[in-house]
Structure 1
Amino acid sequence: MKRIVLPLLAAAVLGTTFLLAHESVAPAKAADPDRESVAVTVYNGNLGLVRDRRRLGLRTGSMRLPFPGVSAQIDPTSVAFRALAHPSDVDVLEQNYEFDLLTPEALLAKYVGEDVVLYVTRDDREVAVPARLLSVQGGTVYQIGDSIALNPPGRVVLPALKGDLTPLPTLVWTLGSRHAGEEPVEVSYLTGGLDWKADYVATLSGDDRTLELGGWVTLENTSGATYEEAKLKLVAGDINRAPREEDEQKRARMMDMATDAASAPEFEERAFYEYHLYDLPRPTTIRNNQKKQIRLLQAGGVATERLYLLEGAPWYYTQPYGGEQGRRVGVYQEFRNARHDGLGMALPAGTVRLYKADRDGTIQLIGEDRIDHTPRDERVRLKVGEAFDVVADRRQTEFKVVDSGHVYEEAFEIVLRNHKDADIVVQVLEPLPGEWRMIDHTHRFEKAGAFSVRFEVPVPKGGETRLAYRVRIEI
C-alpha cells in the first residue's frame, strides 16, 4: 500500500496527482489539456483578465472535464468557456471550481480521529509508533497509548491520499458534445492577485532646463498561477466595478524579483475606450509570486522649468489671523507631455523620482512626487521639496466684518526673502472663498480659478520683496 509521509513540524509540498471520479459522467480523455496560448490583461487595482487557449479531446455525449492550473484568486462567476472550432456542438452543462488544495495541513486534517504512524528517533534510530490524531488546530495533538502528545518531534506516515483534495486550483466542467475529436477552446476569467504600477526616473541637466525621463512598469503576480509566454496588456485608468459583498483576505507571500533587459522592446500605447492600453509586443512569462519590471519609455532633452510656489489657505479670510513667520516655499519642476519634447505618450499614474548630478558628477536624489494619469499635451508638475534659502513671512494687517457673518474686508502682507545667489520669481497662490473683489494690490495678479488668484513676485538675489493686497470677500 502506498504511504504518505509528512514531517510533523515542517510543511512539505506533495506532488501527487488526483484522478477525480464521478459515478454518472465519465471524465474527458484529456484531463490536462495542452495550453496553446495565454493572454493576460492587467488593470490598476488588483484585477486581471486571463484568456487561456487549450486543445482537448472530445467525444460525443456527456463528459467531465478538469481544467487545472487556473488562478487561485479566480472569480468563478466571471468564467466563460468557448469552443472555437465547433461552438454550436459543445454545451457547458455544469461548472465547478475546486479549490480544496492538497497541502500537508489539509491532508492531515482529513485524518483527525484516525490511526496513523509516527516515526520518532530513539537511541539514534528511527522507531515506528502507532498513534491516533486528535486535533490539528494550532498544532498537532496525538494519543499514544494512554498518553497525549503535543507537537511530538519526528514525522507522520499516512496510509493514503484521502478526500477530494486537488493539487492545483481546478475548474471542472460537465460538457455535452455533439462533436468527437480535438477541439481548441478558450477560457476567460477575472482574477485578483494581478496588479501593476508605473515608476519614473527623471534626471535634471546641469542648468535645470532639460531632463531625461525613463519609465518602468512593475507587474506583480500573487494570483497563484504562472502564465507562460503570455501576451501582456496593461490598462491605465479607473474602471468602475460593482461593489462586492466582502473583500477577499490577502495572503502574505514571498516575492521574487525579475527584471527584463534594458534593451527589451517598449510598450506600445494606444487609446482604448475611455482608458489607455499598453501592449507589450513580445510574449513574457509572468511567474507566480514574482515582481517583473519592463521598460515603458525613455526620453531625453525634455524641456522643464523650476517653479517656486507659496500657497495660502481658505481659513485665513474668515477670522482674525496673526500670521506666520519663516514659512517654507515649495520647489517644483514642470514639463509638458508633448511630442516635440520627446514625450507625447499617455503617462499612467505613478511615482516620479527626480535626480541631479552634484559638482563632482555624483547623481543625488533631490525629490519625488506622484503623478496622476496624464494625457498627452498636458503639463506635469512635480513637487521636489521645500526651498532651503527662500522663506516667507505672512501677516494679516487688517480684518473688518462688513456684514456680520458673511462679508469681510481684510488686508495681507507677505514678505519673501531670497538668500540664493540668483534672482527668482515666486508664485503666490491665494485661495479666496466665496465671491471676492480685489480692492488694492502691489503686484499684478491673475485669476487661477473662480476662487483663487496668483501673484508672480520677483525676488532679487540676497534681497526681499513685499507683496500686499486688500480684498473683500462675501461668503
Structure 2
Amino acid sequence: MRRWLLPLLAVFPAPAGAHSAVMSAAPESVSVTVYRDPDRAEGAIDARFPQGFALVSEKRRITLPAGESTIRFEGVADGMIAVSAVVTGLPGGIVQKNRDAKLLSPAALVDGTLGRAVHLRRTDPATGKVTEQDAVIRSASSEALVLETAQGVEGLRCSGLPETVSYDSLPPDLSVRPTLSVTTSSPAAVEVDVTLTYLATGFDWAANYVARIGPGGRTMDLFAWLTVANGNQTTFPQASLLAVAGRLNRTSDHDSLDEEAPSLPFLMLRCWRFEGYAAPYGRAGEARPLPSPPLAAPMMAARGMESIVVTSQRVARQEDLGDLKLYRVPMAVDVNPDAQKQVALLHKDNIAFESYYTADLSASGEIPQPRLLRRMIRFINREDRGAGVPLPSGGIAIFVPHGDESLLLADSRMRDYAKGETVRIEAGESAQQTIVQERRGKGMRLALTNAAPSPAAVEIEIADAERARLVSPSRPLTKRDGRWLWKAVIPANGAASLDYRLRE
C-alpha cells in the first residue's frame, strides 16, 4: 500500500459525503482582471503583500450525474473571497457552496490523523539501517507529537535518531489545493460548461515608465510597462489578462469578507526534556524542524516576488469601462504564483516637453543658506504634442543622452493623468540652481542663482502665511492653485531676485 510522507503535499483527497462527488481539477480557460490597490495612489506595488484584488472568471467542463452531487472546483486562488463566488451553467442551480476550510499541510495532516495508525520510520545515521514499526498518534501540538508504539508512549524525534512518520491514506476533509465546493441537483446525467467567477485578494498592478530625452532636450520618447503582481500560490496558465485603471467605487470591506479564508497551522516538531524521561534509543536531542508550509495569499509572510517575466512584443489595448480605463493584454499569458508579469502598456515618440526649476515657499519663511531647486519636466497630454493618451500612475525612470550612452537622470513617480491634462514630473534636484530667502527690514527677498552655462527657467510658488500676506512685489506675479507664482529666467551664470513686503 502506498504511504504518504508527512511533508508531502502533492496528494489527492478522497471524496467526502454520501452523495456523488465531481472533481474539477482545473479550468479550461481563465480570465484575470486586476484592480489596483485603491489606497496606494502613485506609490509602488508592495511586492510581498499586494493589496489590490482581481476578478477571476474560469470556464470549466463538468460531467454531472443525475441527482444531487458536490462539485469540487480545485485550484481557485487562495485569496478567493468565497461569498463573491458565482457559478453559472448548472442545470439544477446551486443548493449550497462552501470554501473548503482545511488545506493540506504537515500540521493539518497530523491534526487529521489523531488516534489513527501511522508508520514510524527510523534511520541509524551510523549504519544507514532503516527500521519501521506501527504507531498511533495520541496527541499533538505545534511543537510536539506523542506516539504510542509497542514499546510504550514516546515523543517523536526524542530518540536521537532521524525519524519520519508516514501515512497510508489522507484524511478526507483536507484539500491539496484551494477548493470551492458547490452542491447541485441535476435532473439528468449531462456534460455542461460552467463559469465560475469570484473576487480574490493578493493582486495589484502599476505602470512603470521609461522616458528617454532626445538629443536636443526638447522632446522625449515615453514607454510604459504594465506590471501585474500575483501574491497567490495559484498559477493561472495562458490567462486572458486585463487591468483596470482609476479608482473603483467600493463600499465593501474585503478583509471582513475574507476573514474565513483557509489558513495553514504552524508545525515545528522538537523534543522536550523532563525529569525521568529516557529516550529509547540513546540520548534525546532536538531534531531539525520541519520546513515551514507554503503560506496562503492573505498571509504570505516572508515571501517576496520570485521573478519578473517580461513580454514586450505586443502592446496592451486601451478600452473604456464607464469612467474607468481598461487595458487588455492582446495575447494569453501565464500569471505565475508569487511573481510579477510585465507587458507593454504604451509607447509614444517625440513628446514635446519643457523643463524648469521650482520651489514651494511660505511668504514669511526664511532660507538663510542656498537651497537646491527641484528640476521639473512638463508636457501637455495632447495628441498634437505627441502624447494624448491616459497615463496611469506609477514610477518613471528618466534617461538623458551623454555621448553614445543614456544615463539615468531621475527615478521618480507620477499620479494618474487624463488626456488634455498638463503632466508634471519631478526629476530630482539641480546642483546648479539655488534659492535663498531672507528678511530685510519689514520686507523679504528671494535670491536665485544659476551656475549653468545656459539660462534657466524657474517657477517659484509662494503661499501667504496665516497672519502675513505678500504685498508690493518688485516683479509681476500671478496666481496658481491659490498661491503666488513668480516666473523668471535666470541668465547663464547669473542671478535674479524678488522683493516684497508682508502685511498682517
Distance verdict in 2 for CA 1:333–1:138, change over 3 Å: farther
**Aligned residue-pair number:** 442
Shift in Å at residue 458 of structure 1? 2.4
2:46 alignment counterpart: none
SS at match of 1:106: helix
CA distance in 1, matches of 2:457, 2:231: 49
Among 339, 362, 375, the alignment partner of 2:383 is 339
CA distance in 2, matches of 1:455, 1:277: 40
Shift in Å at residue 178 of structure 1? 2.9
Q: Which has the higher contact order (CA 8 A, sep 6+)?
A: 2
Where do 1:133-282 residues align within 5 Å?
Answer: 134-138=139-143, 145=151, 148=155, 150=157, 153-241=162-250, 242-243=252-253, 244-245=255-256, 248-263=298-313, 265-282=314-331
Shift in Å at residue 54 of structure 1? 1.0
CA distance in 2, matches of 1:322, 1:167: 65
| Cα contact 1:108–1:136 (8 A) shared by 2 | no
SS at match of 2:460: strand
**Amino acid in structure 1 at the alignment position of 2:473:** H
Among 24, 35, 54, the alignment partner of 2:27 is 35
Among 53, 59, 62, the alignment partner of 1:53 is 59
Q: Gapped runs of 5+ residues in structure 2? A: 38-51, 260-297
Distance verdict in 2 for CA 1:465–1:164, change over 3 Å: same
CA distance in 2, matches of 1:71, 1:126: 43
1:5 alignment counterpart: 5
1:26 alignment counterpart: 20
| Cα contact 1:329–1:392 (8 A) shared by 2 | yes
1:431 alignment counterpart: 463
Of 114-123 and 229-238, deviating more is 114-123
| Cα contact 1:305–1:334 (8 A) shared by 2 | yes
Among 90, 93, 105, the alignment partner of 1:103 is 105
Shift in Å at residue 60 of structure 1? 3.5
Describe the superposition over 1:318-377 as per-residue Cα deviations: whole angstroms up to 9, x where unpaired: xxx55422111111111222222332111111001111122x322211112211111112
RMSD (CA atoms): 2.5
CA distance in 2, matches of 1:200, 1:70: 32
TM superposition score normalised by structure 2: 0.81
Where do 1:72-91 residues align within 5 Å?
Answer: 72-83=78-89, 89-91=91-93
| Cα contact 2:13–2:171 (8 A) shared by 1 | no
Shift in Å at residue 158 of structure 1? 2.5
1:461 alignment counterpart: 492
CA distance in 1, matches of 2:331, 2:339: 19
**Amino acid in structure 1 at the alignment position of 2:17:** H
Shift in Å at residue 97 of structure 1? 0.9
Shift in Å at residue 393 of structure 1? 1.3
CA distance in 2, matches of 1:62, 1:211: 64
TM superposition score normalised by structure 1: 0.86
CA distance in 1, matches of 2:115, 2:219: 73
| Cα contact 2:14–2:172 (8 A) shared by 1 | no
Identity %: 24
| Cα contact 2:14–2:170 (8 A) shared by 1 | no
SS at match of 1:77: strand
Of 462-471 and 227-236, deviating more is 462-471
SS at match of 1:108: helix
SS at match of 2:384: helix
Of 161-170 and 147-156, deviating more is 147-156
| Cα contact 2:79–2:202 (8 A) shared by 1 | yes
SS at match of 2:131: strand
Distance verdict in 2 for CA 1:34–1:109, change over 3 Å: closer
Q: Gapped runs of 5+ residues in structure 1? A: 400-410
